[in-house]
Chains A and B, each alone.
Chain A
Amino acid sequence: MSFLELQQLKKVFPDGTEAVKGIDLHAEAGEFVVLLGPSGCGKTTTLRMIAGLEMPTSGRIAIAGRNVTMLRPSERDVGFVFQFYALYPHLSVAQNIGFPLEAAGVRRAERDERVRAVARSMGLLPLLECYPRQLSGGDQQRVSLARAVVRHPAIFLMDEPLGTLDADQRLEMREFIRGRQQEMKVTTIYVTHDQEEAMSLADRIVVMQGGTICQAGPAAEVYDDPASLFVANFVGSPGMNFIPGHVRAHGGRCVFMPDRAQTPIPLKASIAPGPATLGIRPEFLHASPQGPISGTVVMNEYQGSFRSIHIDAGFTGTIAMRAGESSRLQPGQKIRLDLDAAHARFFDTQSGRRIGHAI
């Protein structure tokens, strides 16, 4: 049995919105699980149900083998970190961190000792006497993290804790959270809409959409072998490119014929003939004078260590190619592209599901 188990968990709000549609999810002891998806996918509702801040309509939640479905938040032994720091403005940092202990009736001396220990491990010692308004966003979030840690909860729940931070602080906090979690080995469920954040933090990513789980797996697996068009596009920046077309048998080999008849693309694997959507990541596309895909450059996005070239090839949406930092491709320029067929993925155009491995 896993440390955290969600069984057929479902949430219907009074207005009829089905926010979570009966999901099964588990997390092992010490595992860092990230719930990833766009606004409205049900990730935050799921987290709030685990915390006990939201009652499920049906289903079961067990933490460490104990059924907590009907328990109050305070009885579940969870530490919650919100997007907005939710610190008490009139309390000092030390008092904020110590608050959960005070509420639990821990004696003064022990409280002070534990607050100092946590503050030391999080680099907050010099700030203990400060008030929240005197701190930067990053430090405030560090304090709310410390407040969640101080009780030694069985499980951490984090709802977009980096959402309101500036970009530079976000990166620093990301490493900080990851480092602390690895040290303490506390099971963590973390919610975000930012796929890069998810990939960098997670032992396992759970991609959600429309109240259901689309795919759950390690970051590399979700990135390399997405289960659906949605996952393929949502994970990665820019996401996977899609080329609609048909798979055909051609002289004993498989080829992919893009719609809007261009040149056939020879495949390395055999896929059942029929309509399909080819998916390819930007880093597996390259400019090639004889390439099967032709289009016009729409934008050359500088990203520092690389460039994203966006190309209109006549498909829905643009095609993004990852290029070197020195690429001088200009909007309006014609270009032909080739792809590394070993990295092509195929999806059912209708259902969006993955249909085979081209390896």
Chain B
Amino acid sequence: MLHRVSLDVNADELVVVLGPTGAGKTTLLRTIAGLQTPHEGRVLLGAADVTGTSPAARDVAIVFQDFSLYPNWTVRANLEFPLRAPGHALRLAEINNRVEWAAGILKITHLLDRKSQKLSGGEMQRVAIGRAIVRRPRVFLMDEPLTNLDAKLREALRLELVCLRRELKTPMLFVTHDQVEALSMGDRVVVLSEGRILQTGTPEDIYRRPASPVVARQIGQPAINLLNVRREDGRWKTSGGVAVAEARESHPAEKAIIGVRPEDVACTGGEHPAAVRVVEAIGPAKVLLADWAGCEIHVLAPATMAVQPGDRIFPRANPDRIVVWNCE
């Protein structure tokens, strides 16, 4: 379900739509592709209204999460398929040229004569992307194309996709529930929830200036700390009495939610102690989970810090990095 979604994608832009399962991401893509008809509203490509036209007439390419290749066909046959579709009728030499070109870009030339069911997941997704680019469509639509791949492969393909899109200079709408993909790939990010757009902006905007606590929670790993606070003696205090920050006069509210990212909380310099409960070492950093006078707080500490569950820290939220939302 979508509710009055307005979205522009510029001619040379990669826009990521981020949202949890059921947010309406796939419906949005299918509506743009013409696989689904909107009840209201219009879809424009270039300047033309394509709302009533068939998928074939729209000249968009869509890549699905589950690859959707013909398993018994060779990679070559899978890549040729969209070029042989009625209405395309390319000459054989041109078909060959395009297949070789796409295979070259995606480094799958050596697989061209292999049956697609014999491929690994990463190879299959490369072929699926190849099948989208051979047509040189006007828009790429990507429906969680990396979700079914191993984490390591996902990392590599992420980078390749962005470089590929830059080279092809074709706009791309990329749908995902993975915030790392959204931050790292998007020129702009659209946060979708229950069929509504909650925020549109650059990755930095979304990460640093989330419009609401809901948006803030969707992005960042470990997740942002959200603290319920009340104005007391000019400061924002939690129910446990921890003063998190100065409360500016310009903020009219008495109650607020403060968001502060784990990397913006120092382990020292604060007034109130917190008891460390969990320590996770994740390579270049450590993630601490601590009890801070009745609320839980995540802190990102340097990998070199010696800390164990049970230790005391004195968290201090960087005042320049906090976000305050009114709670009225």
Question: Contact check: which of A178, A282, A283 meets B278 at CB < 8 Å?
Answer: A178
Question: Contact check: which of B153, B262, B281, B287 meets A219 at CB < 8 Å?
Answer: B281
Question: Contact check: which of A194, A235, A299, A308 meets B283 at CB < 8 Å?
Answer: A235
Contact with A along B105-147 (1 / 0, CB 8 A): 0000000000000001100000000000000000000000000
B32: A residues at CB distance < 8 A: none
Q: A310 and B159: CB pair below 8 A?
A: yes
A334 to B184, alpha carbons, bound, how many Å? 21
A283 to B263, alpha carbons, bound, how many Å? 16
Q: B152 and A199: CB pair below 8 A?
A: no
B151: A residues at CB distance < 8 A: 193-196, 237
Q: A195 and B178: CB pair below 8 A?
A: no
A39: B residues at CB distance < 8 A: 120-121, 150
Smallest CB separation, A339 vs chain B (Å): 15
Docked complex: B253-301 residues within 8 A CB-CB of A: 261-263, 278, 280-284, 287, 289, 300
Q: A299 and B162: CB pair below 8 A?
A: yes
Q: A299 and B163: CB pair below 8 A?
A: yes
Q: B178 and A38: CB pair below 8 A?
A: no
Q: A195 and B159: CB pair below 8 A?
A: no
Docked complex: A161-196 residues within 8 A CB-CB of B: 166-168, 171, 175, 178-179, 193-196
Contact with A along B87-116 (1 / 0, CB 8 A): 000000000000000000000000000000
Number of chain A residues close to chain B: CB under 8 A: 42
B283: A residues at CB distance < 8 A: 196, 199, 219, 223, 235-237, 281
A237 to B221, alpha carbons, bound, how many Å? 13
A239 on interface, CB distance cutoff 8 Å = yes
Docked complex: B197-252 residues within 8 A CB-CB of A: 203-204, 207, 217-223
Q: B159 and A305: CB pair below 8 A?
A: no
With A195-B152, A199-B283 known to touch, is A301 a contact of B278 (CB < 8 Å)?
A: no
With A302-B183, A305-B300 known to touch, is A167 a contact of B177 (CB < 8 Å)?
A: yes
Q: A168 and B223: CB pair below 8 A?
A: yes
Nearest residue, chain B, Cβ from A199: B282
A196: B residues at CB distance < 8 A: 151, 282-283
B177: A residues at CB distance < 8 A: 166-167
Smallest CB separation, A105 vs chain B (Å): 38
Question: Contact check: which of A137, A220, A302 meets B184 at CB < 8 Å?
Answer: A302
Smallest CB separation, B145 vs chain A (Å): 16
Question: Contact check: which of A167, A308, A318, A331 meets B166 at CB < 8 Å?
Answer: A331
A195 to B153, alpha carbons, bound, how many Å? 12
Nearest residue, chain A, Cβ from B121: A39
Nearest residue, chain B, Cβ from A178: B278
Docked complex: B15-50 residues within 8 A CB-CB of A: 20-21
A303 to B282, alpha carbons, bound, how many Å? 15
Which A residues fall within an 8 A CB radius of B?
Answer: 38-40, 137, 166-168, 171, 175, 178-179, 193-196, 199-200, 219-220, 223, 233-239, 281-283, 298-299, 301-305, 308, 310, 318, 322, 331
Which B residues fall within an 8 A CB radius of A?
Answer: 20-21, 120-121, 150-153, 155, 158-159, 162-163, 166, 177-180, 183-185, 203-204, 207, 217-223, 261-263, 278, 280-284, 287, 289, 300, 303
A-B residue pairs, 9 tightest by C-beta: A301-B184, A305-B263, A200-B280, A194-B151, A193-B150, A283-B284, A166-B177, A302-B203, A199-B282
